[in-house]
Amino acid sequence: MKRNGLRNNKITINKINNMSIEEVRNRFKEDIDALTYFEQLRWGNKTHCAYCQSEKVSARQIDNRFHCSSCRKTFSVTAGTFLHGSKIPLKGWLYAFASISNTTGRFSIRQLQKDINVSYTTAWQMYQDIKKLLPDLNKENIVAGNMFDYMCRKAIAVTGEKKTEVVTEPLAVLV
């Protein structure tokens, strides 16, 4: 079914065992597939406003954003989450989660760079960001086969942290 020019895929969300890069490529062929997957993880079948929690939300627009009729804000599935503001497509993050969850021993940032076709610096930063998601890894007793699922759910969980603006003071003028 198409809605506003976009496919409306319904993906059943169960716990997904670790997926290889190839399995991620096969399951999430287009960016809209990854978007729909994260929408199902975050909201299930009923979308809520990311700001006021209202259910008076429009269908996903052509720019992949929703519009809330209550607070009149637009938002995407990543609003208020670990993935908010990222320029990496959601499919790229899924590749990174798959790559990291299937690693035994040392992780190769060069391999991640090749897998998702980004610069070394971007791959390194993604790896550092993902490591921040996993500080409580041992506390949560994750079953070994569900690392990919855990990372996806953790990434889309609302963080509640507001990004602080950097205030720069004007330079003093020498007279």
80-103 burial, b at 16+ Cβ within 10 Å, e below that, comes to: bbbbbeeebebbbbbbbbbbbbee
Q: Are 81 and 163 in contact (CB under 8 A)?
A: no
Residue 105's region, left for phi above 0, alpha for psi from -120 to 50, else beta, is: left
| pLDDT tens track for 96-115 | 988 888 777 788 899 899 98
Q: 39 to each of 13, 36, 44, 56, 124, how far by Cα in Å?
A: 10, 5, 7, 16, 26
Q: What is the pLDDT of residues 144-166, one digit of tens each?
A: 557 777 788 888 887 755 443 33
Classified as helix, coil or strand, 67 is strand
Which residues of the chain are modeled with pLDDT < 70? 1-18, 135-145, 160-175
Instruction: Report pTM.
Output: 0.75
